[in-house]
Structure 1
Amino acid sequence: MVGIIVVFPNKDNATNIRNLLVRVGLNVTGVCTTGAQAMNYADSVDEGIIVCGYKLKDMMYSELREYLPDRFEMLLIASQGKWEEGLASGVMGLTMPIKAYDLMNTLQMMLQNMDRRRRKRKKTIKSRTPEQEALIRKAKELLMARNNMTEEEAHRYLQKNSMDSGTNIVETAEMVLSIMNE
């Protein structure tokens, strides 16, 4: 789940930004005034975006960025003078005074990038070791011999049982082999 966490030292500023985000349909996980609170909220979601100011009550934005996992991005809202040293990696910035339109567009862009990366991670094919391939082949051969199935039917059987039981196909093949070899 993607969460947006709003962190500003002034609670009213944080609440106003949260209200703006909620009005346009974005899900805000939490509103807080310290980096420690933001890290607690970050632990409750898989990935997310931190919308924050330059200086929080207990730390600077760069310290918070260091403590956050890589699956989080940060949107820094600060005056142009604060950016002269440059931004830390994984941080985007908007200058003060902020325009609602710019905030929404930037957050939408960040959410789309996170979604694209998530889909790319899911697409990477998890390769099996030769031992795992041999185990699956052995289970299919056993199903073909004992149940008079074709290789395609045996594979489909393993896949279906794998999905039904919530295990991966290698574990299902192990179960078939242990049950049928008794």
Structure 2
Amino acid sequence: MSHAWHDIAFTAPVRALQEAAGSRASYAAMGARGDAGARLGEGEAAFIHARDGFYLASVNADGWPYVQFRGGPPGFVRVIDAATIAWADFRGNQQFVSAGNVSENDRVSLFLMDYPNRRRLKLFGHLDFTPAADAPEAAAALAMPGYPARIDRIARVRVAGFDWNCPQHIPRRLTRAEWEAEARG
């Protein structure tokens, strides 16, 4: 099921291209089966919690897209409830492009990748940032013990839709630790 993702992504021009390519009927059939809504389940929560990073896309005031990688130790992204994820936004290069973008347009897209298992979770949502000093309880709850990065902000996404993607063109990649664990057997 699309979990509201198709409702957001499949605009009229997208549907027209799907129709021309012959794929519209299969996507329409998926929609006819019903949409489970944008509620994260246990499978999504486990997948999100296992990630050590993701790609975050936002759009600036001039309409230009911006994509960046957000990373941390596995588990730094937390499912707060079935419609909300959050993470400690660690100090980076201090450019504030994503933070500036969402101050005017809070719509974002996240790609969470599992390269070893060739899986991808796509997510649409509304992102807000809160300075860590203004939310000390949230900062403490999202802190990663032993991880030396400074928490600048708390990032919270209200999930609008999500979808799992087919693995057809996802390359299988392993970190050194994953490769060594696989080699040991």
Q: TM class, shorter-chain normalised? A: under 0.3
Taking structure 2 as the reference length, the TM-score comes to 0.21
More helix as a share of residues = 1
Q: Which has the higher contact order (CA 8 A, sep 6+)?
A: 2
**Structure 1 or 2: more strand by fraction:** 2
Greater radius of gyration (CA)? 1
Normalising by the residue count of structure 1, what TM-score does the alignment of the two structures yield? 0.21
